[in-house]
Amino acid sequence: MTATSYVDLDNDDLGANKILRAATMSALDTNPLSIAQRGPSAPWLNGVGAITELTSGSGNWTVPAGVYRIKVMAVGGGASTSAIGSNGSNTTFSTLTASGGNSNSAGGSASGGDVNITGGNGGYYYLYGGYMFGVADGGSSALGGGGQMNQGGSTAGSGYGSGGGHDDPVGVGNVYGGGAGGTSIKIFSVEPGDLMAYSVGAGGGSGAGAGAPGIIIIEY
């Protein structure tokens, strides 16, 4: 079954002294169904009926009964600090790819979406003449939460897809905060029962200074 297309009606179709045409009557009959199905061009007047979060693993997500359009946000895994040296992994959903962040501070890219957002870059600090310069915070993803540079210790990224922050003014010289994962957002036309392949990217590293894992958020 294919979702019914929505037909826009304007003042030339409706109102006083207007001729009621067959096409207008047809639209008045089918538009409520198109809105209920969230068909092509239909306004989403009923808000979000449900939200599903995929926070780890891979597989196939099954489109529920009665659902014909979904909004998907995919966020790649955040990278660790350069002291750990572990990149975040890519998050994918159908044609979306949200790349993981890099431990050299660069944020991950994104592709395939109606909106594609590059992850935030991590910061950088260095030692010179016995003094520390710069800030090695982790990059923030579209969901925020980059690990902060704390005096005397590293912090893991807290928001999904964010990079880890680092501070070790004694043991390590020049250090980058981890880059955040990219974010891709898209509205898909689907059919009930469709299988949508996905994989949630892991964060780079573990413990203090690690990147946060990615996430997939599905609204329908």
Instruction: Give yes or no: residues 4 and 65 share one domain.
Output: no
* 113 lies in the same domain as 42: no
Same-domain pairing of 62 and 157: yes
Instruction: Report the number of distinct structural domains present in the chain.
Output: 2
Same domain membership, residue 123 and residue 38? no
Give pLDDT, residue 15: 72
Residues 6+ apart with CB under 8 A from 81: 103, 122, 136, 138, 147, 154, 163, 164, 165, 166, 175, 176, 177, 178, 205, 209
Domain that holds residue 200: 48-220
Q: Do 139 and 77 fall into the same domain?
A: yes
User: Both 73 and 138 in a single domain?
Assistant: yes
**Boundary (domain end) residue, out of 47, 63, 85:** 47
Do 30 and 57 share a domain, yes or no? Answer: no
Same-domain status, 29 and 71: no
The parts of the chain modelled with pLDDT lower than 50 are none
Q: How does DSSP classify residue 42? A: -
Residue 97's pLDDT is what? Answer: 98
pLDDT of residue 153: 53
Q: How far apart are CA 142 and CA 87, in angstroms?
A: 18
- Output the pLDDT for position 175: 85
H/E run at residue 65? none
Same domain, 22 and 98: no
At residue 185, what are phi and psi to the nearest 5 degrees? -125, 135
Instruction: Clarify whether residues 134 and 204 are in a common domain.
Output: yes
The reported pLDDT for the residue numbered 70 is 92
Output the pLDDT for position 197: 98
pLDDT value, residue 150: 56
pLDDT at 89: 98
pLDDT of residue 24: 85
User: Which residues have CB under 8 Å from 127's CB, separation 6+?
Assistant: 133, 169, 173, 174
Do 76 and 105 share a structural domain? Answer: yes
Within this chain, do residues 139 and 167 fall inside the same structural domain, yes or no? yes
